[in-house]
Each structure stands twice: as structure tokens, then as C-alpha cells.
Structure 1
Amino acid sequence: MQSRKKILVVTENNTCNRGIHGIIGAMDGSLTGLARRRLSPVLARRLREEPAIVLNGPRTVGKSTLLGELAGSLGRVVIDCDDPATRAAVRNDPGRFVAGPDPVLIDEYQHVPELLDAIKAELNQDLRPGRYVLAGSTRYSTLPQAGQTLTGRVDILDVLPLAQTEIDGSAGDPLVHHLLDGADPVDAMTRSMTTRDEYARRITSGGMPVALRRPLGRSRSRWFANYLNLVVDRDVIELSRVRQREMLPRLLSVLAARSGQVLNIAAVAEAVGMEKSSAENYTRLLEAVFLIQRLPAWGTTLGSRVARMPKVHLVDAGVMAWLLGLTPEKIATNDPSTLTEYGHLVETFAVGEVLKQASWWDGPVAVGHFRTSTAEEVDLVLERDDGSVIAFEIKAGTRVDVADLTGIRALRSRLGTRLAAAVVLYTGHLAYAHEEGTAVLPLDALWTPQP
């Protein structure tokens, strides 16, 4: 069985490398060619430091490809628990499968949670680095055994949809790394040549690799529909006995319409026609399979007037655009209601790009949003382990007014010198310094190679 799997890994790796990695090459912006995942060197470093690593992320984003690349470079095989026969064999004797030569590589481990107990037993005897790399399409923290089994012994790496720098094949450190390194955002200032239509195309396409390999239009739309059905029918149902399966797509659509906004479960439940407790449980399931993510409130110790409710975002802007029916052509009509939805989509897209770049950073980074009781808000806050803070405000328009800096001013008044950098991202062309050192940057600074 293992020798057969080794052949499968090589075949899958060769195929998936063409589908998971790539650069924009076609006229419609679909993926062609090859490009390396920015997470690959991070994984290599962590493997030298940590006894167990979990690659966590949505289906089809490239976790199996990362495992396959690692298997090829080390001469190992991948134990694929997505395969029913392999899954049955592993479930029958998990100890045998985790006792192999280091590192043991296991894909879709969440199908056999008993593996975690077997790995714990092994690590109780030997905690040397590089023993296990697991990949899964369900959030590690949501698995029943996960909370107690490997706490303190596992390092979790998020494998998210492709970032624009990966899609373009851009070299060099991205903007977020420059800011986390303490660089002045003014140093990143360059004039943008990205058109409004190009922004709309990138933002509505998102970063799901397989979708990006399809041309815009019906083919890509079919993929999104099939993808969501697969995740709901397989992954969600496997996690929990869902009595109202038909409510999940409806709930996801409502959450998509509220992406980038404070999550009010009572209002969501009313919109869907569910009990509040059921809406909360189903929302957690959608979060567990990486369709949505909660951005926690940040700075709650800065005063009683700081809001404590999280925001909700779709994990992929392409999925969100498909759920809302937003296309570049529809956005170009300038319909007011469409532009309102597009504004939320731009925020979700930009937040996702920043979080992807932060996930490649080797140090701990706390993330959240800042909002006061008087609606002064900052869309995204990053906090380094030394307590310094980077603030991002995101605007879909081509102008930045003084009123757009209200949230940053409120945050600066509370943090003082702890606010290391403040950046407003917008879809205009000019880059310039605004009041008190706030940098106004074109949105494409997130994927433009930095000086």
C-alpha cells in the first residue's frame, strides 16, 4: 500500500504543481506556469524546530502539494487519509502508521482523529524536531481531541488561498513583512498603474488555485458551485450531524453579504430564519471548514468604549464574489447597491492579502479589528510580540478624505508611540503621506515588489 501511495504522491505532485502554483499568463487573468508557495521556506524552518506541524487551510489550496514536495525532497511517502482504503487501515492501527521514519507525513488527518492520540504517545517518548507534518481541511482547534492531545507540541501553519504576490510570481519581501520589520511605510510609496477594471478582476477572482485555472465566466462559476457543495456535503456533515443541511448555503450567503462587518449572530439568525443558537452552531461549522473567519476585536484593554464583537470575513474573496453575484462587468455599471457590496468585498480581499503575508512571517503576530462604541474603527490591526502595532484602513474608492482617518486617529490617541505604522489602502493611483505620518498607498502595494 505504501509503495502504491508513493507513486500516487509523485503523480499528484506533478499534476497539482501545475494547478496549485502559477503566474497570471492568459489574457483573462487565469493561471499559467509555475510559482513557489511563500510558505515553503517557512515550513522548512519550522521542521527544524518543532516536533509536529499542522498545515491547516481550505480544500484545494495546496496543502497536499506542500506535503508532496516535502515527500519528494526527503524520500518519504504521504499517508493520505482522504483515500477510503488508507483511512480504514490507519483507523485500524494508528500506532503503526505514526511510528515510521521521520518525518511522518499525513494528509487530511482529521478523518482519523485517533491519530492524534498515537502521535501524543510517540512524542511522550521523543520530542525531537521534525517528527510529524499533518495537513487538514478542518481547523485544528475544532477537533474534539485537539484541545488536549498535542497542546504545546504542535505548530500550526495556515495554508490560505494564493496571495497576489504568489499569483504574479513576484520576488522579494512583501509589504507586510517590510512593515513588521519596522520599515517606514513611506519607503514603499510608488505610483500605481493598476486600473479600476484590473482591480475588479483580481478581487472577484480571489485566490483559489483550481478556480484560477479556469477562464472567467461559466466554467469558473461552476467550479465555485461544486466546491461549496463538496465542502458542505463532505466536510461539514462529517464534523457534525446537521439537521438542516439546506440552511447552510443560505447562512453562508447571508454571511457573505455581511463580510467585513461586525458579526451579529441574532441579526444573522433572523435573516436566515433560524434560532440564534442554531445559527451560532452552524456559523462555527462554516468557520471550521475555512469558508469564513472571525476577525476578533482588538484593544479591548484600551478602555470600556472599545467594542468587543468580532468581524466576519469570507476566507476567499472569489467565493464571496460568486455568492454575491459580483462580476467585473456588474461592478462597472456603477449601480449604488452593487458598489456598496463591492466596498465590503474590497475590504475582505485586502484583509485576506494582509493575513496571508502575515502567515509567512516567522514571529507571532496578533490580528484583529479596532472599533469604538462611537463607530471609530480601523479595519485591521497587527500587533508584533514587542507590543508595537500596525494599522490598516481599507477604502474601495479612489480618494481618501480626512474623515477616513477618524479610526486611525482614535487608535493613535490610545497607543501613542506603540502605533508603529498606519496605512490607508485605496484604489487610487497616488501614494503620499497624510496627517501624522499616515501613509496612503494604492491597494496594489500589497503585491508590488518593494524597494
Structure 2
Amino acid sequence: MVDTAAMQIPRSRARGSVEEALRRSPVTVLTGPRQSGKTTLAREFADPDSVNYFDLEDPVSLARLDEPMTALRPLEGLVVIDEVQRRPDLFPALRVLADRRGSEARFLILGSASGALLRQSSESLAGRAEHVELGGFDLNEVGPKSQRPLWLRGGFPRSFLAATEEDSAQWRRQFVRTLLERDLPDWGVRVPSTALRRFWTMVAHYHGQTWNAAEPARALGVSEATCRRYLDLLTDALVVRQLQPWHANLKKRQVKSPKVYVRDSGLLHTLLGLDSEMALLEHPKLGASWEGFAIEQILARVPHDDAWFWATHQGAEIDLVLRRGSRLLGVECKRADAPTMTKSIRIAIADLALERVAVVYPGRKRYPIDDRVDVVPLETLAADEPLFPDAAS
């Protein structure tokens, strides 16, 4: 089904990324969580009624691919395969087809899971595939005036564009239920949906904190290894982010466990039972919610090769360490009216040799607070202005 809601906001940057990937590589892997707009974007490139389009939630398409080489070999131009995680056995066939000499065929494959899907494509399509990830709407797509509703509702098209707050909240509740009760079992996950729902809710309460599996394991009556498996399942479904720690060559004791975030702020609010803006503003997770929202916006819009957080057991930390080539850049997210320089930022600059640090906040004025530190409005990302003054973001 075409997501007509997603069509109301153009996604030119995502479209451009897919176009470039299709130009460079015989296979493009477009991943993203369910209902993020992948199918809508793919249908800008190919007619869903053509023989070149396969939707693996459609029994007819599944039947056509019973003999994949027979079905795919004669096709020319762009071939789209949607929900490919349902048929991981297609990857070896795609490798053979991608290696054909003189073939003009290009393959755009869509998937709603990252872990097993990306491992399959990396192993079978090494050197032949380029990966593009599509999340929900970001601040650049919806505009700076929509920063608050984007934070409250999240970026899933049908949630963000819902007619009322209740419609948005109801869509998110159904998304959680469908993912746990239908999608994950369809992908081969054999974990009771009630257990995963309880676990995901616990992750929401850990949002923005260093992960410790011991407490959730005790609460659920399972092993820590089982909890790690649950966390990896939700990460693979692209609804949870495990932000890994950066390790510097220091004598200080550094945090070695990942931080966890519910990637979509609207889903976070649903899992926390926050059904109104007032409920969010009064909740202890208010600051962590905004921090996670800002981090997702930054990771979506600011060019980087790798991203981590950094923290020591002595209390120094910084929310993001971005590597861009040989440069290390820092980002601190503060929901404050006028952030100031902190001891923690000074320590991070000295210990990690950060070239620059941006302190991102919800205000509107940009100003320096140190030689290498600027306070930067989050809405800067909506205008494609650089987060760091000497490098385009």
C-alpha cells in the first residue's frame, strides 16, 4: 500500500541519495523501519504495476519469485523488491545477476530490518551493493516551525501528519502492536510479544542512559544474554539505537557499555504512556527525550563517518563524538535557554583532542562560548546551515 501521507512532504535528499546509489552500484539496499516511507520513495522510481516490481507482502509476487533466476534474469532497467527480509535466499541470485557483463539492470531492494538483512547483503553482495537508510521525517523536511510537533509526534509520516493528537497517538500504539505481534514473528523472531513489549518499555525508561542488562533481566526473569538478544532484535528492527562508547588511550576509567535510545521520539512517548504535551513536560524523561530527538536529527543531517558517545566513571561525558575523516568533532545536546561552558566539555576537548564542539539547544541564537565551542540552535539543521563553522553539514 502506498503511504499517501508520506507523499505530502517531498523527500528530495533521500531521493537524491537513492539516485546516486543506483548510478554507482548494481544493487541498492534501502532500509528503514516499517512505515517510514520506503515504499512510497521506491514508487517514485518504478511503477508498482510493472513486471519489474515485486512486493513480497503480496502472494502473487512471492509466487513469481519461487524460481528467482527464471523471474529476474530477463528483466531490464530498474527492478524493485520490497520487504526483501522475507526472502533472504534471494541474495545469492542477486549476486549472480549483478555480475552479468553488459547488463543494464539495476536492483533496488527494500527492507524493514537491518541486522540479518545487512549481513546477508554484505556477505552475498560485497562490492556490488550500496546501502541507504531512510528514517522518518527530519527537521529539514518539515521545516523549523514544525520542530515541536516533530519532537512530540515523532517522524513516522502517518503519526506526524495525523489530523489530531489522538489520531497520532493511536497510530503509534498500533505501530508498536503490529511490529511486535505480526512483523517480528513474520521475520522469524520466536519471542512472545508480551515479553518484548515489557522489555521495550524498560528500554524507554533507560532512554539516554548507559545500558545495564542486569536490572531488566531480573524484572523479566530471564538471563542477561536473553536481554541482550531482545535489545539486538529491536535494534535490528531500527526502532532502538545502541550508541557505542568511544575509547581514548587514557589512564581514566571510561564507560564501556552502550547508551540506548528509542530512535523515534513519538514511539518513546507512547511507550512511556505520555499522551499529551503537558504529560511530557512534567515527566522526568523530558530532557532525555529532547536529547534523543536532537541526536537523531544530527545523525540524519550532519555528515560523519562514525558516531559514538564518550564518558568516564569520574563524570566527564559528551553526547556525540563524530569522526569525519581524521577529524573528531563533539556534540552536546542541552534543553536549556542559554547553555554555558561546562567542565565536562573542557575535559572532553582536552582528552579527546576534539577539533570543535557544538552545544545544540532549542533556542534561536547562535553564539560562541569558547574558542572551539559554539552554542547552535537545533533548527540550524532545517536550513542546511553548518553545525560546525568551518565545515558544511
Shift of residue 306 of structure 1?
Answer: 3.1
- 1:94 pairs, out of 62, 68, 84, with 68
- 2:87 pairs, out of 101, 106, 112, with 112
- Give the residue type in structure 2 aligned to 1:383: R
Name whichever of 132-141 and 267-276 sits farther off: 267-276
* CA–CA separation in structure 1 for the residues paired with 2:286 and 2:211: 18
Shift of residue 72 of structure 1?
Answer: 4.8
Cα deviation digits, residues 32-73 of structure 1 (max 9, x gap) = xx4234211111112111121100100111111121001159
- Give the residue type in structure 1 aligned to 2:336: G
- 2:256 pairs, out of 308, 318, 321, with 308
* CA–CA separation in structure 2 for the residues paired with 1:122 and 1:443: 44
Shift of residue 158 of structure 1?
Answer: 0.7
- 1:45 pairs, out of 4, 8, 20, with 20
Match of 2:6 in 1: 20
Q: What secondary structure, in the 3-state scheme, does the structure 1 residue paired with 2:43 have?
A: helix
- Give the residue type in structure 1 aligned to 2:232: R
Match of 1:330 in 2: 279
Alpha-carbon contact 2:111-2:117 (below 8 Å) kept: no
Please report the TM-score for the alignment, with normalisation by the length of structure 2.
Answer: 0.89
Quick one: structure 1 residues 273 and 102, their matched pair in 2 at CA, closer, same or farther if it must change by over 3 Å?
A: same
* CA–CA separation in structure 1 for the residues paired with 2:129 and 2:115: 10
Alpha-carbon contact 2:86-2:187 (below 8 Å) kept: no
Q: Work out the percentage of aligned pairs sharing the same amino acid.
A: 25
* CA–CA separation in structure 1 for the residues paired with 2:104 and 2:210: 40
Match of 1:441 in 2: 376
Does structure 1 residue 371 correspond to structure 2 residue 320?
no
Match of 1:189 in 2: none
Alpha-carbon contact 1:300-1:307 (below 8 Å) kept: no
* CA–CA separation in structure 2 for the residues paired with 1:166 and 1:295: 24
Alpha-carbon contact 1:94-1:114 (below 8 Å) kept: no
- Give the residue type in structure 2 aligned to 1:219: D
Does structure 1 residue 282 correspond to structure 2 residue 230?
yes
The alignment yields a C-alpha RMSD, in angstroms, of: 2.6
* CA–CA separation in structure 2 for the residues paired with 1:303 and 1:237: 46
Shift of residue 95 of structure 1?
Answer: 1.2
Cα deviation digits, residues 234-268 of structure 1 (max 9, x gap) = 22113334243311111111111111111212233
Match of 2:195 in 1: 247
Q: What secondary structure, in the 3-state scheme, does the structure 2 residue paired with 1:48 have?
A: helix
Alpha-carbon contact 1:232-1:248 (below 8 Å) kept: yes
* CA–CA separation in structure 2 for the residues paired with 1:293 and 1:43: 23
Quick one: structure 1 residues 268 and 163, their matched pair in 2 at CA, closer, same or farther if it must change by over 3 Å?
A: same
Match of 1:188 in 2: none
* CA–CA separation in structure 1 for the residues paired with 2:90 and 2:173: 32
- Give the residue type in structure 2 aligned to 1:225: R
Match of 2:98 in 1: 123
Match of 2:301 in 1: 357
Match of 1:66 in 2: 41
Higher helix share: 1
Q: What secondary structure, in the 3-state scheme, does the structure 1 residue paired with 2:214 have?
A: helix
Alpha-carbon contact 2:7-2:40 (below 8 Å) kept: no
Quick one: structure 1 residues 37 and 254, their matched pair in 2 at CA, closer, same or farther if it must change by over 3 Å?
A: farther
Q: What secondary structure, in the 3-state scheme, does the structure 2 residue paired with 1:343 have?
A: helix
Match of 1:265 in 2: 213
Match of 1:342 in 2: 286
Alpha-carbon contact 1:21-1:37 (below 8 Å) kept: no
Shift of residue 389 of structure 1?
Answer: 1.9
Shift of residue 301 of structure 1?
Answer: 4.8
Structure of higher RCO (CA pairs closer than 8 Å, 6+ residues apart): 1
Match of 2:389 in 1: none
Segments of structure 1 that go 5 or more residues without pairing to the other structure are 1-11, 23-33, 171-193
Q: What secondary structure, in the 3-state scheme, does the structure 1 residue paired with 2:285 have?
A: helix
- Give the residue type in structure 1 aligned to 2:13: R
What is the 5 A alignment of 1:385-400? Answer: 386-400=325-339
Quick one: structure 1 residues 235 and 373, their matched pair in 2 at CA, closer, same or farther if it must change by over 3 Å?
A: same
Quick one: structure 1 residues 21 and 437, their matched pair in 2 at CA, closer, same or farther if it must change by over 3 Å?
A: farther
* CA–CA separation in structure 1 for the residues paired with 2:136 and 2:213: 26
Shift of residue 129 of structure 1?
Answer: 8.1
Cα deviation digits, residues 77-103 of structure 1 (max 9, x gap) = 42111212312331x111123322132
- 1:136 pairs, out of 111, 127, 143, with 111
- Give the residue type in structure 1 aligned to 2:40: T
Alpha-carbon contact 1:51-1:128 (below 8 Å) kept: no
* CA–CA separation in structure 1 for the residues paired with 2:235 and 2:365: 37
Match of 2:323 in 1: 383
* CA–CA separation in structure 2 for the residues paired with 1:166 and 1:210: 15
